[in-house]
Amino acid sequence: MRGLRILETRRARALRRDAASADRLLWKGLQNRALGGFKFVRQAPVGPYIADFLCRQRSLIVEIDRETHSSAADIAHDAMRTTFLESCGYRVIRFDNAQLYENIAAVMEVILADLHGSG
């Protein structure tokens, strides 16, 4: 499958390589099944989009909204993106950078609660 989506795969790899500090912070808590034994991948292509963090086992996408997600156009784009991802069978939860920096433990609790609730 990856061979058919070369451009998306290259873009996802570049995003992983150049990850923002908030992404790296959350990834530390998700990688290697660190959160409840659930496997996450980061910067995973889903249709025309690249999900920040994806747990395929529970069909959960975790998105990090950076400071650039605050204009009306950006909010509308995020809503359209969420609608598409949900139409593919995924649940989407979003956090902004401030939430991650101020209380990463609470963010992890919300994600874990969602994972357990989707069983």
Q: Which structural domain range is residue 89 located in?
A: 2-117
The residue among 60, 43, 45 whose CA lies nearest residue 3 is 45
- What CATH number is associated with residue 31? 3.40.960.10
Read off the amino acid at residue 55. C
Q: Is the pLDDT of residue 15 over 70?
A: no
Query: Tell me, what DSSP letter sits at residue 29?
Result: H
pLDDT digits (tens, 9 = 90+) for 16-57: 555 568 898 999 999 999 999 999 999 998 998 999 999 999
pLDDT digits (tens, 9 = 90+) for 52-74: 999 999 999 999 987 665 678 88
87-106 b/e (C-beta count within 10 Å ≥ 16 → b): eeebbbeebbbebbeeebee
- Kindly list the strands in the beta sheet with 91-96, ordered across the sheet, starting from the edge strand earlier in the chain: 41-46, 49-55, 60-65, 91-96
Number of structural domains, the chain? 1
pTM of the model: 0.81
